[in-house]
A and B are shown apart, each in its own frame.
Chain A
Amino acid sequence: MSSALRAEVGQIDVDAIVVGAGGAGLWAALELAREGIPTAVLTKLYPTRSHTGAAQGGVCAALGNVEEDHWEWHMFDTIKGGDYLADQDAAEVLAREAIPAVIELERMGLPFNRTSDGKIDQRRFGGHTRNYGEGPVRRSCYAADRTGHMILQTLYQQCIKAGVKFYDEYHVVDLVFEGGEADKGGRCSGVVGYKIADGTLHVFRAKAVLLATGGYGRAWRVTSNAHSLTGDGMALAWRHGVPLQDMEFYQFHPTGIVGTGILLSEAARGEGGYLINDAGQRFMESYAPKLMELAPRDMISRAIYQEIRAGRGIGGKDYIHLDVRHLGRKVIEEKLPDITELARIYQGVEPISEPVPVQPTAHYAMGGVPTNLETEVLADARGNVVPGLFAAGEVACVSVHGANRLGTNSLVDLLVFGKRAGIRMAQICKSTPQPGSVQGAERAVRDELLALSTRPSGVRPAEIRRELAALMMDNVGVYRDEALLGAAVKGIAKLKGEYANVRVEDTGSVFNTDLLEARELGYLLDTAEATAVSAYARTESRGAHSREDFPERNDAKFLAHTLVWQGSDGAPATKLDYKPVTITKFEPKARVY
């Protein structure tokens, strides 16, 4: 009988471990390499296949290459865009350090588009303004419509140059703690990796472990996220007593391809595309008369839902039209080539002559593993850190995005905090002794994986995944209320019960994707639970979290970050706490555009 796991166990000692090789993980690895810290980068995909490569729009930094700009303006936009939930010290770091980070990327070789005098070119992007909201500003640095791709490639190239040691297609299946779990003052001392190619477990010991595993958009049915974005880092930390922060804030991008959710970038509206309902009206005029189609993402997504609910979706169905026909063939083909291609391939629609059906698509997690400005993971609302554990990128919540992220700010987040993570980890590695032996640390997860792969009968993971995705889409989507969220919490608990009986068909040890997908489903259930529970408890509307039963923002009670802990022994999560928002420069105001 073959088994999904081989008996032999690898033991690897390094100083630092980076889990995930997207933008955040790669930059951290690069900093560690520069400091000469022995580092292992583990990634379940080849690095160049990380989802950072999907980002098209650009990366904002107040370089002022084409018009006047200041990092304070960028900071303000970030905070206002986030409905004042962003920590302002963090937003300041983001806006300030974006500038040297982008310059450094250029020096690493990133092929930015250029101005006529040879500098990095910049263009407009939703929500980024001049002089504290006066009008749009050219702040987004870009490389054609492949900025994320170029960031990912450039960082990977530099890692090769620096001799970074990669463990490609190693699936991290557990974190190792010594001295108790995170909520009991324990220290993270390593990770357990499952080598996909041959089914062996490897225990990695290190002084510092970075989670850079990206988001969990696959919890929703209609999503712009890759199949691999299953919240692994968040769930693993959660299972070891780390709280998750602000999970109720999940961004829906207004223009996803109907059914699949593949993203049609904001550029379509930036170039002047309209959103049209069944009656042929540009309905945004009744929601954001000034900015129309360029209002922030959360607002447009809500408007689309309102239309659909009022029966004004196209043909009464659950989508509306994105119309670019009036822009003319030339603009469409030259400025929006990727969008045109996506619509043609994935929807069979010709944007030059037909309107494109779109609907909001699950896109980005504002919440995640709480960290301080040095990317150290926090154990509680008082700011105590979990020794040895770090997080950066979409998996983390610093929080710079607050309740709603602005376009391009995610890439900035990766760069700034990925770099900070590497620098901080290098310091820690130099001043800390190696943790104690991690021998046998793989036992718990080995048992879990064996249980998954040897169960003779049970439910297929795909069924649970489908139900979860539908539940999250219907109940934890753009609009929420007590009834929907209550049902979601219950429904997730039920699915978790079924998950305990899930059955994997592939019993081999070589490239067992069946087993790993089942494992990932467990992570999705955890992150979905954290999301639903946090959303249920937040009885206000702010940014992407929109409660119909509580339509107003409530600063008196909820100008605070949610922290939620996993329930013990498989019980639903009930432990929540709130942490005040750091306010330095900008007092919360009503958010009008």
Chain B
Amino acid sequence: MTQGSSPLASPQKLRNYPSYRGGEGMVAWAFHRISGIGVWAFIVLHVFDIWLIGANPALYDALGEFYSSAPGRVMETLLGAALFYHALNGMRIVVMDFWPALTIYHRGLWRAVWVTFFTFGLPGAYIILKPIWEMAA
């Protein structure tokens, strides 16, 4: 029981916080959250468009056009990147969840996430994007 609090204390504003200079862990978290929300938003759309296969195939095909167009492919690449980063970092989190002692290596694990991300991601991006310049050519 204490009697110390100040009646005049002024709450701080949430908008100041992004300037905090966190380390790898904070960046990993921010990316994870952003990618999670991004993938979620896409999936809401995606389930809906899959539903169109039964409900309105013509509309679905129109959408499919978009997916295979140049901007569509760029978007797909970003989606893939988000999903892939999220998946890898998600495994990093799960691994630490079940073996808390691994937390001392969280930076190393994070680096491993990026190495994996680029090793598989760059060829993947190439495959998805290739048709763009093939089309152009």
Shortest Cβ distance from B9 into A: residue? A197
Nearest-neighbour CB distance to chain A for B4, whole angstroms, equals 4
A198 with B3: CB separation less than 8 A? no
Residues of B within 8 Å of A550, CB to CB, are none
B4 with A511: CB separation less than 8 A? no
**Which of B1, B2, B6, B7 contacts A511, CB < 8 Å?**
B6
Residues of A within 8 Å of B3, CB to CB, are 165-168, 170, 195
> Closest 6 interchain pairs by CB?
A197-B6, A168-B4, A166-B2, A168-B2, A169-B4, A165-B1
Shortest Cβ distance from B7 into A: residue? A198
**When chains A and B are docked, how far (Å) is the Cα of A197 from the Cα of B4?**
7
Number of residues from B at the complex interface, CB < 8 A: 8
Residues of A within 8 Å of B2, CB to CB, are 165-168
Verify if A583 is at the interface (C-beta below 8 Å from B): no
Verify if A470 is at the interface (C-beta below 8 Å from B): no
Since A164-B1, A197-B5, A198-B8 are in contact, a sample of 20 more A-B pairs with Cβ atoms closer than 8 Å, ordered by chain A residue number, is A163-B1, A165-B2, A166-B2, A166-B4, A167-B2, A167-B3, A167-B4, A168-B2, A168-B3, A169-B4, A170-B3, A195-B3, A195-B4, A197-B4, A197-B6, A198-B6, A198-B7, A510-B6, A510-B8, A511-B6
Proximity bits, A162-181, B CB within 8 Å = 1, else 0: 01111111100000000000
Residues of A within 8 Å of B4, CB to CB, are 166-170, 195, 197
Residues of B within 8 Å of A511, CB to CB, are 6
Q: Which of A163, A170, A197 has the most CB of B within 10 A?
A: A197
Proximity bits, A89-130, B CB within 8 Å = 1, else 0: 000000000000000000000000000000000000000000
Proximity bits, B1-37, A CB within 8 Å = 1, else 0: 1111111100000000000000000000000000000
Proximity bits, A563-575, B CB within 8 Å = 1, else 0: 0000000000000
**When chains A and B are docked, how far (Å) is the Cα of A168 from the Cα of B5?**
9
Residues of A within 8 Å of B7, CB to CB, are 197-198
Nearest-neighbour CB distance to chain A for B6, whole angstroms, equals 4
Residues of B within 8 Å of A163, CB to CB, are 1
Residues of B within 8 Å of A510, CB to CB, are 6, 8
Give A151-170 interface residues, CB cut-off 8 Å to B: 163-170
Residues of B within 8 Å of A169, CB to CB, are 4
**Which of B1, B5, B8 contacts A166, CB < 8 Å?**
B1
Interface residues of B (CB under 8 A from A): 1-8
Interface residues of A (CB under 8 A from B): 163-170, 195, 197-198, 510-511
Shortest Cβ distance from B5 into A: residue? A197
Residues of A within 8 Å of B8, CB to CB, are 198, 510
Shortest Cβ distance from B1 into A: residue? A165
Nearest-neighbour CB distance to chain B for A508, whole angstroms, equals 10
- 16 interchain pairs, CB-CB under 8 A: A163-B1, A165-B3, A166-B3, A166-B4, A167-B3, A167-B4, A168-B2, A168-B3, A168-B4, A169-B4, A170-B4, A195-B4, A197-B4, A197-B6, A197-B7, A510-B8
Nearest-neighbour CB distance to chain A for B44, whole angstroms, equals 48
**When chains A and B are docked, how far (Å) is the Cα of A195 from the Cα of B4?**
8
**When chains A and B are docked, how far (Å) is the Cα of A197 from the Cα of B3?**
10
Shortest Cβ distance from B8 into A: residue? A510
**When chains A and B are docked, how far (Å) is the Cα of A166 from the Cα of B1?**
6
Residues of B within 8 Å of A166, CB to CB, are 1-4
**When chains A and B are docked, how far (Å) is the Cα of A510 from the Cα of B7?**
10
**When chains A and B are docked, how far (Å) is the Cα of A195 from the Cα of B2?**
12
**When chains A and B are docked, how far (Å) is the Cα of A165 from the Cα of B2?**
6
Residues of B within 8 Å of A167, CB to CB, are 2-4
**When chains A and B are docked, how far (Å) is the Cα of A164 from the Cα of B3?**
12
Nearest-neighbour CB distance to chain A for B131, whole angstroms, equals 58
**When chains A and B are docked, how far (Å) is the Cα of A306 from the Cα of B91?**
65
**When chains A and B are docked, how far (Å) is the Cα of A195 from the Cα of B3?**
9
**When chains A and B are docked, how far (Å) is the Cα of A198 from the Cα of B4?**
9
Shortest Cβ distance from B6 into A: residue? A197
Residues of B within 8 Å of A168, CB to CB, are 2-4
**When chains A and B are docked, how far (Å) is the Cα of A165 from the Cα of B1?**
5
**When chains A and B are docked, how far (Å) is the Cα of A544 from the Cα of B4?**
40
Nearest-neighbour CB distance to chain B for A159, whole angstroms, equals 10
Residues of B within 8 Å of A165, CB to CB, are 1-3
Shortest Cβ distance from A163 into B: residue? B1
Nearest-neighbour CB distance to chain A for B39, whole angstroms, equals 44
**When chains A and B are docked, how far (Å) is the Cα of A510 from the Cα of B4?**
12
Residues of B within 8 Å of A164, CB to CB, are 1
Nearest-neighbour CB distance to chain B for A345, whole angstroms, equals 20
Shortest Cβ distance from A165 into B: residue? B1
**When chains A and B are docked, how far (Å) is the Cα of A166 from the Cα of B2?**
5
Shortest Cβ distance from B4 into A: residue? A168
**When chains A and B are docked, how far (Å) is the Cα of A121 from the Cα of B7?**
47
**When chains A and B are docked, how far (Å) is the Cα of A165 from the Cα of B4?**
11
**When chains A and B are docked, how far (Å) is the Cα of A163 from the Cα of B2?**
10
**When chains A and B are docked, how far (Å) is the Cα of A198 from the Cα of B1?**
18
Nearest-neighbour CB distance to chain B for A299, whole angstroms, equals 44
**When chains A and B are docked, how far (Å) is the Cα of A284 from the Cα of B5?**
53
Shortest Cβ distance from A509 into B: residue? B8
Residues of B within 8 Å of A197, CB to CB, are 4-7
Nearest-neighbour CB distance to chain A for B7, whole angstroms, equals 6
**When chains A and B are docked, how far (Å) is the Cα of A168 from the Cα of B2?**
6
Q: Which of B1, B4, B6, B7 has the most CB of A within 10 A?
A: B4
**When chains A and B are docked, how far (Å) is the Cα of A195 from the Cα of B7?**
12
